[in-house]
Structure 1
Amino acid sequence: MEKKFTSDEVPLGQLLDQARSGSLQLPDFQRGWVWDDNHIKSLLVSISLSYPIGAVMTLRTGNPDVRFRPRPLEGVDLARTVEPEVLLLDGQQRMTSLYLALRSGNPVPTRDDRRNKLSRVYFADINKCLDPNQDPEDAIVSVPEGGVARTFLGETTTDVSTRDKQVASEMFPLGIVFDSEAKGAWQFTYLEHGPGTLEERFGKWRRFQEGVINAFERYQVPTIELAKSTPKEAVCQVFEKVNTGGVSLTVFELLTATYAADDFNLRTDWDERSARLTEHTLLERFEATYFLQILALLSTFDRRRRHLADKPGDDKPPAVSCKRRDILNLRLEDYRKWADQATEALSRVVRFLHAEHIYKAPDLPYATQLVPLAAIFAVLGEQADGHGIHQMLRQWYWCGVFGEMYGGSTETRFAIDLQDVTAWVLNAEDEPRTVREAQFQAQRLLTLRTRNSAAYKGIYALQMKRGGRDFRTGNTIDIHAYFDDAIDIHHIFPQRWCATNGVADRIANCVVNKTAIDAHTIRRMGASAPSKYLARLESNERIEPADLDAILRSHDIDSVALRRDDFAAFFNTRFERLLKQIAEAMGKPVNRTADRSESPYADSRLGAEHVRSSIQAVIDAQESKVAEFKSTGRKNLATGEKDPAIEWGVVKTIAGFMNAHGGTLLVGVNDQGGVVGIEEDFPFVSKRDQDGWELWLTEVVARTLGKASAAELSVQMGQFDEGTVARIDVGPSATPVFATTPLKGDKKPKFLVRINNSTQELEGQEALKYQRSRWPT
């Protein structure tokens, strides 16, 4: 009986040479090459460790009854038409990836896990390859075409763009592993000029040659070859049975098969949990892999904790990790031990994020950040619900978002954050690395234009949390208003108005010119100037101008500038307010230029005049729900002396605005709108000038309302003929603010609210009712 197939082991280099020459090609019915960067890296790691990568299947050509149109592997450039000797039926994704990475001589055109196009070159980190304590997955490095890897801020992290830089970094380019001449030249340069002594370099190279390069050169690929006499029907049937579309089994599928041996149906268990979790709109896209990562974190965290309890001081305890191998090592007893705790923790994570006004899966800044957050909640248990700890978790969360720390490879950060955050909370250790390392550049606001960005989504949520009110109804946007009124992000100055009035698209479309608006209002706005659509809203919805001003201020919108269609004044004010919100959420200042000129409208030629003009506009609009005038900050004009009651009047107004929906306080202007000037206060402040006056304001607000409130103030000084006017812009607070009076004999904290044109104190049930309405979550 004629043998239908043969099996043998073929050197990897031989197969790649066959692909290069065209003697090994694909049948045209094969699907395209689809592997992403992570798949390619994982395959190269397996080769470097001499691990099996599975057999390939080929078909010997020459049967006149079995003729398929051939095509070369991806990346193979044949100068002429070549009739192949064999066709590759199974193993296309692996062989194409290996050819592109090791033999093509060009960067590999691949994708990341979000399907974004990449161009990559692969290197072996010699030191990590030789270190038995290093994860082999980290020893093979993917670098952008050109050899330079940079952070989001443009800082270079890896530069292997030349052979000398590769040698200095001890990063061997895998693309030359089968090119004897190029490999010899690289080896010569390394031995001649590499780091360390010649003896160290020689010893290191010898071990690298034996352990890694030889692994590639001597690698044998199990190959099943179908005889050329195999009929076409049989070839198609074999292909359909062996081909999996180029997608490897997921860890979930592999664990499902593993647990099945113990009569446990992982898929059924997950489907039941997933059905409960996705009742929360926030978790409707939550993946099984995320859940397994949480379990791996908890399992390895517990293993490390128990090890250190038994062996305190051990300098090499088991690592906390949730990489693929850690998930595959999850025993069934581990799954059963942690699955319920992880499920319950995810429900508590939903409550945490709802409190931050993140309600839907598309609005999550980073879906991946759910993994460490849920693990942290599981470890902390009920302690996570305490106010102080909640605030610590909130700071860590927003540092991750605005520092854009979860945009790349994340498994390592998951493990770091779980350990850092729990140690920070439970043992009062140093701030987590994510908090320390997170930075937000002020000019980043100008580049946040779509909801693809985590920081863009974060600003959206912060705006709503601080009490953003629905434009039409005036109600605070809570979870019910969010869904019932179809709240979405929209332009404040419409796009068409911006185009007509010379506002660049990049400015018109950035997050500074957007806020949460309901669908009904968006239709009312159209493409009109703000002054016109505000008038329509007032008329059609029967909103008093003062009430609409308060609604606008709840979104940190300067109502006076908006009503004047003054885009520059509006933009500058809101730009500064958003930066303060981000700084408050992160618990640290944003990064700014020395002259604070990041806004395109912060030009010094406009600055002083714009401030004076904006103050005059507030004066002309008179006092209202969102504007109040004070002649002085400390001096009693009747007695000529410093008066704590005058100081208390300033504090009361600021607290009232914060507890309402924000506003503007002008100091140096009397009730009739006449300029008095803050110079009247100079004899009663330390430096007797504007700087001394602003220092006094910051100190008194910090002392009576808290440092966080002091940091929230935006202060500008406008020069008039009669004197200097201080414009103090106050944003709505994300939480209730209580004031401690500087007056003698009265130290009870007071809850103050701006109601109509005055600031009033609320107590008891009246205060509680207001707070529940103002801060629904």
Structure 2
Amino acid sequence: MGFQTPQPTLSELLRRISRGEIQLPDFQRGYVWDEERIRSLLVTIAQGHPLGVVMTLQTGNDQVRFKPKPIEGTDLAQGAVEPTLLVLDGQQRLTSLSQALSGGGVVKTHDARKKVVERRFFIDIEQAVKDPRNLDAAVKSLPGDGMVRENFGKDVVLDVSTQEKQLEHGYFPVNLGYDDKGTAWLFEYADPEVSKAFLNAILTPMKSYAIPSIELDKQTSKEAVATVFEKVNQGGMKLTVFELLTAKFAGDADYYSAAGTDFRLKDDWAQTERVIRKHPVLESIEETEFLQAVMLLASHRGESATTARKDDILGLQLPDYRAWAGEVREAMAWVAHFLEDQHVHAARDVPYPPQLVALAALRVLMGEEIDVHGINARIRQWYWCGVLGELYSSSTESRLARDIDQVPEWARGAEGATVPRTVEDANFVESRLHSLKTRNAAAYKGIHALLMANGTKDWLHNQPFDRAHYRELAVDIHHVFPKAWCMKNEVDPELRESIVNKTPLARKTNQLVGGASPAEYMSKLDSRAQLSAAELDAIVAAHQIDVAALRTGSFAAFFTRRREALLGLVEAAMGKRAARDVDRDALGGGMESGDAFADEPDDPQDVEEAESTEAI
């Protein structure tokens, strides 16, 4: 590998970018800098301070054949040439400069609130001349049309949309700094002395500003380029594992020799995205999770230890990726159906997205055998131990590797098979039911799914909570004893917001429940559901609820009995007994006064209950 260290002027770089001589490898991420970073970059240029090295790669390399794409915002429709350099490091800086300093100078970016905006940058001439050493205040970021508005856009407080108005306010457009029009613009400025000072102190130095670069030559190997990608971008814009592998795979000489084209990881990922769109419950799976599943399989069948570590993924070879990626994609449809069987119907209800990585890898390793009744029962036990034992919340990469090594033989009932650590380590304690309050907890989502899977139906519609009805009825998890009622009766917030006082209900059912006492809303349900009291009681009882306690409005009796019933669901799913650690006498009737309002922030889904009306 050879390299040069030229220091081209910014003017030269802008010219070459506009002609297409300098482009990007097409796998590079999109432009993401916000307006303040762009403004700060322009201040650095105006002050003549260094902004860091740009690294490029000469095109025409026999080993590294990245497909080029123009730097964002560059129009190559006319006068374009073939690129001679590809930017490996410095994309965000060069994109910012080429957009802000070329053409109309309008940059498509985002503000501090992540709102997409168009910005144009100016230098306040008098302020810059007055104190050239402090240009930070002189460089201005304005709306793309050059008009600053207040009072919700009704009042224009600054207008520099035309040259006449720019001259009036003394706002020099930075995009003219690298254009012959810039000097002509200054000749029109009202104060010749200030204009001359600005030209000498600010504009001329900006035109001669040089950027140090490292230019890798055509002999650079794909291994060297991969190393470069791992080492550069150490700041806030560090490349992801997927982007690094994209670069590595694109330069695979053996694949190019056999296929006559580069391997494009982005195109392959597009196939995976099509599978995810068919199964929205998988929406949490992104590029890195997919690569982890592939890596688990490649390493499990390889000579080294099974791994899902992101650092190890960088060592994944293209032949191994191609051997397993298609199988992982096929397995993802099975994962979606597995989740549906567990009554996990939406991506927001997936307890642990990383556990889906393990499920996909297990489906590939075990094939159709994973659906044999006894084997599938153990797979379900392993899944629920991970969820209810809350074991995928830390050390995820290590747990993934252990599960792939341990679960298959154990699930098959092989002689001498080791019980997976995820099953062995899992435990559940009774008091955890008190602290499960929002979807932030995997076990909260898990119990929600277990309730739906246990033959429950909606109270008003008498419909099961399968995938179709879950979406059609807008099912969510809601209070049994309504929040408003609990607050009025000073129920301890720990008990009020606990999963014990929550159950899946359709939106309209929850609206009917409103904030009334269960003793009131059960009577209302009797007539609205057009069921006999006995039929309705059976539907409600399937939610692991003591109906007698509900109809009499007895929170204490309801809570203690349902807590025990939910523990039974947990134990059945995990295949092991939960620890009882709650003092039965401590509930004290289920209500405590004094701190009824001292609760943590409410889950957005819960707020609706306190505000909903009783009428549908």
**Separation in structure 2 between the aligned mates of residue 423 and residue 274 of structure 1, nearest angstrom:** 31
- For the 8 Å contact 1:283–1:361, the answer to whether it is kept is yes
1:544 maps to 2:543: no
Letter in 2 for 1:297: L
Q: CA deviation at 1:473?
A: 1.8
1:298 maps to 2:297: yes
- For the 8 Å contact 1:572–1:599, the answer to whether it is kept is no
**Separation in structure 2 between the aligned mates of residue 256 and residue 364 of structure 1, nearest angstrom:** 29
Q: CA deviation at 1:281?
A: 1.5
More relative contact order in 1 or in 2 (CA 8 Å, sep 6+)? 2
1:319 maps to 2:305: yes
Q: CA deviation at 1:237?
A: 8.4
Q: Cα gap change, 1:454/1:349 in structure 2, threshold over 3 Å: closer, same or farther?
A: same
Normalised by the length of structure 2, the TM-score is: 0.58
Aligned to 1:487: 475
Structure 1: runs of 5+ lacking an equivalent: 7-25, 32-53, 71-227, 305-317, 605-777
1:231 maps to 2:205: yes
Q: How does 1:43-82 map to 2 (within 5 A)?
A: 65=132, 67-69=134-136
Deviations 1:619-642 (A, max 9, x none): xxxxxxxxxxxxxxxxxxxxxxxx
Aligned to 1:513: 501
Q: CA deviation at 1:243?
A: 8.2
**Separation in structure 1 between the aligned mates of residue 512 and residue 8 of structure 2, nearest angstrom:** 73
Normalised by the length of structure 1, the TM-score is: 0.46
1:286 maps to 2:285: yes
Deviations 1:564-611 (A, max 9, x none): 000000000100001111111111111223xx526853789xxxxxxx
Deviations 1:439-469 (A, max 9, x none): 1121011111101110000000000111111
Q: Cα gap change, 1:446/1:598 in structure 2, threshold over 3 Å: closer, same or farther?
A: farther
**Separation in structure 2 between the aligned mates of residue 333 and residue 392 of structure 1, nearest angstrom:** 33
**Separation in structure 2 between the aligned mates of residue 267 and residue 234 of structure 1, nearest angstrom:** 39
Letter in 2 for 1:261: G
Structure 2 counterpart of 1:354, from 340, 346, 368: 340
Aligned to 1:453: 441
**Separation in structure 2 between the aligned mates of residue 359 and residue 590 of structure 1, nearest angstrom:** 26
Secondary structure in structure 1 of the residue aligned to 2:302: helix
Deviates more, 1:394-403 or 1:422-431: 422-431
Secondary structure in structure 2 of the residue aligned to 1:536: helix
Q: Cα gap change, 1:386/1:4 in structure 2, threshold over 3 Å: closer, same or farther?
A: closer
Aligned to 1:416: 402
Q: Cα gap change, 1:298/1:505 in structure 2, threshold over 3 Å: closer, same or farther?
A: same
- For the 8 Å contact 2:8–2:212, the answer to whether it is kept is no
Aligned to 1:255: 245
Compute the RMSD of aligned alpha carbons: 3.7
Letter in 1 for 2:473: D
Q: How does 1:644-655 map to 2 (within 5 A)?
A: none
**Separation in structure 2 between the aligned mates of residue 563 and residue 445 of structure 1, nearest angstrom:** 23
Q: CA deviation at 1:4?
A: 6.2
Deviations 1:178-219 (A, max 9, x none): xxxxxxxxxxxxxxxxxxxxxxxxxxxxxxxxxxxxxxxxxx
Deviations 1:513-550 (A, max 9, x none): 00000011111111111111111111223221111100
**Separation in structure 2 between the aligned mates of residue 503 and residue 410 of structure 1, nearest angstrom:** 38
Q: Cα gap change, 1:445/1:65 in structure 2, threshold over 3 Å: closer, same or farther?
A: same
Q: CA deviation at 1:266?
A: 0.7
Aligned to 1:384: 370
Secondary structure in structure 2 of the residue aligned to 1:303: coil
Aligned to 1:649: none
Q: Cα gap change, 1:532/1:334 in structure 2, threshold over 3 Å: closer, same or farther?
A: same
Letter in 1 for 2:336: V
Q: Cα gap change, 1:64/1:573 in structure 2, threshold over 3 Å: closer, same or farther?
A: same
**Separation in structure 1 between the aligned mates of residue 451 and residue 207 of structure 2, nearest angstrom:** 63
Q: CA deviation at 1:65?
A: 4.8
Q: How does 1:639-718 map to 2 (within 5 A)?
A: none
Q: CA deviation at 1:378?
A: 0.8
**Separation in structure 2 between the aligned mates of residue 509 and residue 448 of structure 1, nearest angstrom:** 8
Secondary structure in structure 2 of the residue aligned to 1:489: strand
Letter in 1 for 2:490: G
Give the structure with the larger strand fraction.
Answer: 1
Q: CA deviation at 1:270?
A: 0.6
**Separation in structure 1 between the aligned mates of residue 361 and residue 467 of structure 2, nearest angstrom:** 25
Letter in 2 for 1:389: I
- For the 8 Å contact 1:474–1:551, the answer to whether it is kept is yes
The count of aligned residue pairs is 389
Letter in 2 for 1:336: R
Structure 2: runs of 5+ lacking an equivalent: 1-5, 10-36, 43-88, 94-129, 138-201, 214-231, 253-261, 591-616
Q: CA deviation at 1:376?
A: 1.0
**Separation in structure 2 between the aligned mates of residue 502 and residue 64 of structure 1, nearest angstrom:** 64
Q: CA deviation at 1:285?
A: 2.7
**Separation in structure 2 between the aligned mates of residue 401 and residue 392 of structure 1, nearest angstrom:** 14
Q: Cα gap change, 1:559/1:418 in structure 2, threshold over 3 Å: closer, same or farther?
A: same
